[in-house]
Chains A and B, each alone.
Chain A
Amino acid sequence: MVKIILLALISLTFLNASSFEENCLSCHGNDFKFNMMMKKYTQKYSSEKRIKEAIFDYLKEPTSEKSVLPYEYINRFGTKEKTTLDDKTLREMIDVYYDRFNLRSKIY
Chain B
Amino acid sequence: MYKSEKQTIFYVLGLYLSSTLLLIATLFATYYFYKQDELMHAEREILKEYSSALEEKLLFVHENSDERYEYPRFENFKSAIYDIDKKLIFSTLDTKIDNLDKDFFFKGSNSYYISSLKPHYLGAAYSVVEKKRKPIDILNDLIITALIIITITIITSFFLVKLVLKPLRDNLRLLDNFIKETTHELNTPITTILANIETLDSKSCDEKSMRKLQRIKTASTTISNLYQDLVYLLLNHQISSQNEELNISEILNQRVHYFSQAANVKKLNLHVDIKEGVCFNADRQKIERLIDNILSNAIKYTNKSTTIKVVLTQHTFSVSDEGKGMSQDEIRTIFQRYRRFDKTQGGFGIGYSIIKSIIDEYCIKINIESELDKGTKVTLTW
Contact = CB atoms under 8 A, between A and B. Distances in A.
Interface of A: 32, 35, 39, 42-50, 103-104, 106-108
A47 B84 contact: yes
Nearest to A36: B66
Nearest to B120: A46
Interface in B63-122: 66-71, 83-85, 87, 89-90, 119-122
19 contacts: A32-B66, A39-B62, A42-B120, A42-B123, A43-B119, A44-B119, A44-B120, A46-B83, A46-B123, A47-B87, A47-B125, A103-B62, A103-B122, A103-B123, A104-B83, A106-B68, A106-B69, A107-B89, A108-B69
Given A106-B69, A107-B122, A108-B71, A43 B85 contact: no
Nearest to B65: A106
A106 B67 contact: yes
Nearest to B86: A47
Contacts of A107: 68-71, 89-90, 122
Given A42-B123, A43-B123, A44-B119, 15 more contacts: A32-B66, A43-B62, A43-B120, A45-B84, A46-B84, A46-B85, A46-B125, A47-B84, A47-B87, A103-B62, A103-B123, A104-B89, A104-B90, A107-B71, A108-B68
Residue picked from B83, B84, B90, most chain A C-beta under 10 Å: B83
A48 B123 CA distance: 9
Nearest to A42: B123
Contacts of A103: 62, 69, 122-123
Contact of B123 (A32, A47, A108): A47
B120 A45 contact: yes
A42 B58 CA distance: 13
A104 B123 contact: yes
A104 B119 CA distance: 15
Contact of A108 (B62, B70, B83, B84): B70
A104 to B, nearest CB: 6
Contacts of B123: 42-43, 46-47, 103-104
A35 B90 CA distance: 20
B85 A47 contact: yes
Contacts of B66: 32, 35
B290 interface: no
* Interface-centre pick from B70, B84, B120, B123 (highest chain A CB count, 10 A): B123
Contacts of B67: 106
Interface in B44-66: 62, 66
A95 B213 CA distance: 135
A47 B122 contact: no
A46 B68 CA distance: 17
